[in-house]
């Protein structure tokens, strides 16, 4: 394992689910697009491995938070990709999770850097 790989941040399962839901707010995407979006948006800090991403996608689909459909893509429409879309239940869950995440990170920040939050 390279030094760069060791330095990457590992995501907790619930956090990955939230990031996937957030990514799908912008529209349907297949797995590779979701992983690339998270990687690029985090300025390469977060890397989602396929071994984590696809179980998360299946879990979210089973819970009814996303839906999936095979669609033809590419220039010649010869290849099919499984595109994932956020459902209404997924939007509601995302709003709830984002609120919890904000509360948690603010609480942790108050502990790590006391007095800075009041500035």
Over residues 15-34, the mean pLDDT reads 96
Separation of alpha carbons 92 and 42, rounded Å? 24
Question: Helix, strand, or coil here: 9?
Answer: strand
Q: Where are the domains of the chain?
A: 3-112
Whose CA is closest to 17, among 49, 47, 57? Answer: 57
Dig out the tokens for 2 from the structure.
Answer: 């390279």
Segment 36-93, tens digit of pLDDT: 999 999 999 999 999 999 999 999 999 999 999 999 887 777 889 999 999 999 999 9
Exposed, middle or buried by CB within 10 Å (0-12, 13-18, 19+), for 1?
Answer: exposed
Q: Does domain 3-112 have CATH number 1.25.60.10?
A: no
pTM of the model: 0.83
Contacts of 32-38 with CB under 8 Å at 24 or more apart are: 34/84
The band of 6, judged by pLDDT with boundaries at 50, 70 and 90, is very low
C-alpha torsion 74→76→80→82, nearest 10:
30
How far is 84 from 29, CA to CA, in rounded Å?
Answer: 5
């Amino acid at each position: 394992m390279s030094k760069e790989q060791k330095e990457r941040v590992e995501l907790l399962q619930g956090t990955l689910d939230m990031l996937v839901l957030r990514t799908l707010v912008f529209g349907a995407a297949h797995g590779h697009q979701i992983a690339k979006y998270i990687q690029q948006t985090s300025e390469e800090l977060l890397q989602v491995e396929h071994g984590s991403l696809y179980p998360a996608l299946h879990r979210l689909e089973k819970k009814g938070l996303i839906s999936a459909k095979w669609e033809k893509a590419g220039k010649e429409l010869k290849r099919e990709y499984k595109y994932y879309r956020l459902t209404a239940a997924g939007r509601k869950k995302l709003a709830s999770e984002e609120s919890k995440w904000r509360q948690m990170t603010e609480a942790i920040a108050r502990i790590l850097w006391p007095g800075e939050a009041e500035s």
